[in-house]
Amino acid sequence: MSSPITLNVGGTKFITSASTLTNNSAYFDSLLSGQWADSQQEIFLDRNPEAFAKLLDYMRDNIIKVEDIDTNVLTLAEFLGIERLILAVKIRWYINIGRGPVIIDRRRRGDQDERIAEAFDKEYGGISKAISTGLYPYFLKRDDSNCEKDMAVMTVTNFGTYNVFLPDTIQITEATKPPISIEGREVISPSLDAGSGNIVGALNWLQLNGYTTHEQQLACYNDWGNQVTFSRRRHNAMMSNTVGVLIPSESDQQPTPMKQFALFIEDTDEDTQKFIAPAEFSEDPNVREAEFGCKVIDPVRDDETGCLEKGWLERNGFITHEKTYDDIFPRCIKLLVRTFFPEDNGNQQGRLYSRNIQNTT
């Protein structure tokens, strides 16, 4: 068992084991391997005792509340070289600010945390300088007002077909012209197939890939159709191996709810309904594994009464009518309605519904 060590920090005494200090702090690891290794002499530190008390609790438990980390704790952790905590702090800080290079390389996941910390140091000069330049509030709370975003642009033609692009650049031009510079990778190609590539598959793909925010200010309508832009917070993609170090505060923002869409189609004259549901409702493994797959569901009709079974949407949680998306994608919805009801009798319609699902990003 490691021998106890007595420390006098700013006039307050602390007693702990040598291993607690040396296993967590580069400063104490160096100090206790030298002249203090076998000494019973009290160690004095001219530092803030309240900050040290919080850090000693961290060194004992390897976890700390974000709300317990003030500027004194941060500067003392940097002085003591409490590396794992410093790493977690820099990663949280960098992601919260939401600007700068995005470090994502699955082949080098092992050193990704270190590279994020290096990016923090390069952009903001380390912990002490970040504090002195007024960035401490962003450690406590995420900044979504000025963060960098990834965009996904859906171009919809007047015929109801579409493409989804991930543009490399976004250019805002005159309001009468397309505001999006389409210079990126095409993700989804036009398709008339109700089982894949339709508007339901596209919207669900966007949600699953984190594009949950509709950027209404980037909407563009013209003679050939319209452009609809969705975004995701770019730095959310950087997952850290130090997530267990910091206990989030109550003020930490919860992830944007992720939606899943289904389309309800009906012909009131023929008393006929169909649902275009997410791929998970299919028993076909090829559909379930398809990125943009969908399942067409026919409601059960009672053999005796001939009436359609009611309540499929409600039973499966699709209770929110997404009228905004109905208004944005009327041509796409109409294209699917015509797929099932080729003859227009004036009493056919399609409506998008959604349910919230767990956001794992």
* pTM value surpassing 0.95: no
**pLDDT in the model for residue 63:** 96
**pLDDT in the model for residue 238:** 57
Positions of E strands within the chain: 4-9, 12-17, 43-45, 64-65, 149-157, 162-167, 184-188, 213-214, 220-222, 225-233, 246-247, 258-267, 272-278, 294-297, 320-321, 348-357
**pLDDT in the model for residue 309:** 67
Report the DSSP beta bridge partners of residue 259. Answer: 356
pLDDT digits 0-9 by tens, 111-135: 678 888 999 999 999 999 999 999 9
Q: DSSP state, 308?
A: B
Positions of E strands within 184-318: 184-188, 213-214, 220-222, 225-233, 246-247, 258-267, 272-278, 294-297
**pLDDT in the model for residue 176:** 37
**pLDDT in the model for residue 342:** 84
**pLDDT in the model for residue 168:** 62
Structure tokens at 95: 């992601």
Please report the sign of the dihedral spanned by the C-alpha atoms of residue 185, residue 191, residue 194, residue 195.
negative
- The segments of the chain whose pLDDT lies below 70 read 1-2, 34-40, 103-111, 160-161, 168-197, 237-241, 253-256, 302-309, 358-361
